[in-house]
Amino acid sequence: MEAPFHPAAEPTPPPFVSPAKPLGSLGFLDNLGSLDNLAPPDSQEQPTANSSLVTRHSSLPPPLPPGLYLVGTPIGNLEDITLRALRVLRTATCILAEDTRHTRPLLDRYAIHTPLLSLHKWNERARESEILSRIQSGQALALVTDAGMPGISDPGARTAAAVRDAGLPVTVIPGPSAVTSAIALCGCSNTPAFRFEGFLDHKTATRRRRLRELADEPCPVVFYESTHRILKLLDEVEEELGPDRRLFIARELTKKFEETLLAPPPALRAHYKTHSLKGEFVVILLPP
């Protein structure tokens, strides 16, 4: 079926661009091995004749109760990890990781030596019985994905449901999310609602049909997209929804070359002719 015809639009103004810029360093975090042992400068008491020196931060954190812990991890900048997440990762029996090679640099950065076990979309079903058995035997399992919150277009939802169905504890340790970060950057203040679609289907016909279904959505619609399909998505939005439909695009969120743009597809395509397409994309389709 031929794409609908849209009359030629007026010349499109250049997009609003938030230029990439290096992120600053927080200094002491660059060489920090363990946040659990970081005590405030004035927190140490001086010993007296009737008391001994007490250092609260010298002892290890208590072990975690058995259960599954869904841990949010940085979506780019490793300094975005929370203190609670570090404590859970350090004291868990085992860390279930989407890609152990991807998680290792985060653990090395904070001197965490907890064993790793792979848990990804290809083996999540097969791991269920082992995970339940481990928790039932008293283990505390932390679950992380390559970036962001487990279960949000990433593995983890199936495992959390299986653990909960077995009557075992599931706990969340909140962390960064590309969805909410992009919504905050976009400044979609007309409505408090938004719709998250994750990754659109790889099949062209299915993608186009879904875009048409979302054309009149009254709130912003958030997609994830890869560097290999972002230009294709721009073409599809223009052809299905018209050349004036505005998109907000956030690329490489929290990383060194973070970039945000707000413009219709023709201006965005023109921008990418001379700018990098490398990285992860969050795309927000603004209401008509």
85: tokens are: 């997440």
Question: What are the pLDDT digits (tens) for 165-181?
Answer: 999 999 999 999 999 99
Long-range contact list for 7-10, CB < 8 A, 24+ apart? 9/242, 9/243, 9/244, 9/264, 9/266
Looking up tokens 């010993």 gives 47
Bridge partners for 85 per DSSP: none
- Are 61-173 and 178-285 equal in CATH topology? no
Cβ-Cβ contacts under 8 Å for 227 (sequence gap 6 or more): 277, 278, 279, 280, 281
Name the phi and psi angles at 222, rounded to 5.
-105, 130
Cβ-Cβ contacts under 8 Å for 3 (sequence gap 6 or more): 239, 240
Q: What is the pLDDT of residue 49?
A: 44
Domain ranges of the chain: 61-173, 178-285
What is the fold, at CATH topology level, of the domain defined by 61-173? Cobalt-precorrin-4 Transmethylase; domain 1 (3.40.1010)
Residue 17 carries which side chain, given as an amino acid letter?
V
Of 3.90.1280.10, 2.40.30.30, 3.40.50.1820, 3.30.950.10, which CATH number belongs to 178-285? 3.30.950.10
Q: What is the pLDDT of residue 59?
A: 62
Q: Which of 240, 235, 222 is nearest to 287 (CA)?
A: 222
Residues (pLDDT < 70) of the chain are: 1-59
Q: Give the C-alpha separation, 72 to 81, whole Å.
A: 8
pTM beyond 0.75, yes or no: yes
Question: What are the pLDDT digits (tens) for 228-246?
Answer: 999 999 999 999 999 999 9
Q: Is 167 left (phi over 0), alpha (psi -120 to 50) or beta?
A: left
Q: What is the pLDDT of residue 61?
A: 78
Q: What is the pLDDT of residue 97?
A: 97
Q: Give the C-alpha separation, 185 to 249, whole Å.
A: 10
Say whether 221 sits in a helix, a strand or coil: strand
Q: Give the C-alpha separation, 118 to 32, whole Å.
A: 27
Q: 115, exposed or middle or buried, with CB in 10 Å at 0-12, 13-18, 19+? A: exposed
Question: What are the pLDDT digits (tens) for 69-95?
Answer: 999 999 999 999 999 999 999 999 999
Q: Give the C-alpha separation, 226 to 251, whole Å.
A: 10
